[in-house]
Amino acid sequence: MLNRFERVLVATNRWVLILLLLVMSCIVFANVVLRYTTGDSIVWAEEVARHMMIWVTFLGAGLVLRFGGHVAIDNFHHAVGEQGARVVRAIVALGLGVFFLVMMYFSILYVWATRFQTTAATDIPIAWIYVAMPVGFLLLFVHLLFIVRGYIGHGNYITSDEMDAESAASL
């Protein structure tokens, strides 16, 4: 059951990212073409593309963590031996988990504080854009839970035929 949830979560996460990137690219491309061919641009295009970029950043961070695509310095792990490396990785994983949960809490407070503000061009509530933060930190925490055992024990991340650290980081 947990494996199925994990597969569905990863697949859904990836497809949402793909769709957001596709729509964002189409909006930006259309805006550039219109600007250079007609001299006018779509009023809301830059704002919507920026908001989609925020969502892509927060939704994609969990997948990048899952496949080991974030910047890391692992020299210390190699210098302290196998048992020491496990302790270091456990401290890192615990620190990340606490950080994700604390950031999720404070980002929920931030979303609540911005609930009455709206965007300039589209008049969308700012809270709908900033809700990407708690969702993203929740996804980071969930992905961390899926990889933590292999990471602490062996320093491994999730491997996939379709995705590796380089591909995940390029999202």
H or E stretch covering 163: none
Show me where the domains of the chain are located.
Answer: 2-170
What are 84's two structure tokens? 């020491």
Average pLDDT, the chain: 90
Helical pair 2-38 and 45-66, crossing angle rounded to 10 deg = 150
pLDDT tens-digit readout, 147-161? 999 888 878 777 766
pLDDT digit string, tens, across residues 52-69: 999 999 999 999 999 888
* DSSP tag of 115: T
pTM value is 0.88
Backbone angles phi, psi at 68, to 5 degrees: 75, 30
3 state SS of 146? helix
